[in-house]
Chain A
């Protein structure tokens, strides 16, 4: 078995909406693979199809060597799933939650108990094991949910936004854990909208937008592809559309992205543009608050591929609807 996960033309349609569009994906055994994309890009739907929680509309996927549609139970027995929102039973104890999960995976009693003790210790939840989960903090909740995903020692882990909404300490803990599991040979596939997370953890990432993979490769590779680009970040007091449009029209400007009063300008040669840029702002009697040039980051790759673009065209209605991030 060469790949841990292989998806061929995987598609999911909800009524007249295409959440995942002929997605092709290959994840090697033992690697940490990141699915990177904005909210509503189709990450979670892709995950749900790969983990047998949703049936694809068309296309196929093989996970741990088994077809997700034809042999879902065999797939499920070999994978661990961490959903985006922790979903433990609030009105049951931490211990029983793990025990119930272990039972569903068919782990014999003695082995189950041993494994639960081990996991509770590992996740520092031992002292709270007989407490009801509703009394847990968000971080403890997350740790318990991860413990539940590991009860049956899965070969492949699917982590959906593993650190979203967590404090720095818990996030760091989860990152360490992912690395540790990776050393043990577990394949880890995670979705994230945090670039640093993907950059730090993943050996390969796929950037997904509108249900399609728009770029794929090692983080360094993706950055390399944009290496001929330089980035100017300029902050202007009361930045408005007029100035942005003028910036777009400067020679050699590839793209301008806006974030509040900041504009990120992508160009081949920053030194060429800088004087023009400064005089442009001065002409309009605006104040430059800060100005710097930099190498492209993975975030730039991401923004260039998926982000809001200013340029001439406005996003179409369909695009803005998709941006709102529906239920997929």
Chain B
């Protein structure tokens, strides 16, 4: 029996469904992924709540935390590729009549969806916790979904490069933590020395954080230059990283 040929989209959707089922099963991992941004949020807002009693910092902080959550969760989800390579389960997918592009697309979508959902949860929790309300929420969500792809691209690059899970975890940390402190999540990048500011503008989290703040706090629209430039930079970044990652991964899949 030869099954009917599936479209690339169908094939990748089955992979997404499988990945999400697995993620949901690992409830504890989901919890840890959620606890990390929450802890960061509480630590950094503690000073404002009890000393300066200035809610403005918390309002400044939340979009950054949301972008950060998306980054951590997307990369975390996508490097499951390395686990699958190690466990041999990747061969299950490769042995099936599935095009390499479907596998890459499926894994990309899994990463993007996971990052997006975790970002929404942290946004809801933070808003409820501090009684905040933000402007242009719909636009913020669309932007958040867009930038999870940039982070997923980084995760795919890491997965393609790493031979084993520990290496991937190390590389992921090496990329995520500097971004966390350089990209204006906790403080505006303008307070950093100029050299570090240049570095910040190479990193995608800067644009994600900027765009979210512009939309959620300042109420800018999609076509406002503040937002449009960030989104353009993110789009270019995503295209470059994703195609590079896809190309590398494709080569490695059939080694």
Q: Do A and B bind each other?
A: yes
Residues of A within 8 A of B (CB): 51-55, 72-74, 76-78, 81, 83, 85, 87-92, 96, 100-108, 148, 152-153
Interface 1/0 per residue, B17-28 and A, CB below 8 Å: 010011001100
Q: Taking the complex as formed, is B11 at the interface, i.e. its CB lies under 8 A from any CB of chain A?
A: yes
Interface stretch, picked from B34-42, B46-54, B86-94, B185-193, is: B86-94
Determine if B97 is an interface residue (Cβ-Cβ < 8 Å).
yes
Closest to A145 in B: B92
Chain B: interface residue count, which band? 20 to 34
* Chain B residue nearest in CB terms to A107: B3
Check if A87 sits within 8 Å of B97, measured CB to CB. Answer: no
Residue of B with least CB distance to A53: B94
Contact A108 B4 (CB under 8 A): yes
A260–B26 Cα distance when bound, in Å, is: 49
B6 within 8 A of A: yes
Instruction: Give the docked Cα–Cα distance between A107 and B2 (Å).
Output: 8
Q: B: which residues have CB within 8 A of A? A: 1-6, 10-11, 14, 18, 21-22, 25-26, 87-89, 91-99, 254-255
Q: Which of B4, B97, B99, B255 has the most CB of A within 10 A?
A: B97
Find chain B residues with CB under 8 A from A89 CB.
18, 22, 89, 92
Residues of B within 8 A of A53 (CB): 91, 94-95, 254
**In the complex the two chains form, is B92's CB within 8 Å of A87's CB?**
yes
CB <8 Å contact, A85 and B88:
yes
3 nearest CB pairs, A to B: A106-B3, A104-B96, A87-B88
Which residues of A lie under 8 Å from residue B95 when comparing CB positions? 51-53, 76, 81, 83
Instruction: Give Cα distance in the complex from A107 to B14, angstroms.
Output: 12
Cα(A102)–Cα(B92), bound, Å: 11
Across the two chains, which residue of chain A brings its CB closest to B23?
A91
Given A52-B95, A87-B88, A106-B6; 5 other pairs, CB 8 A cutoff: A73-B97, A73-B99, A89-B92, A92-B21, A101-B96
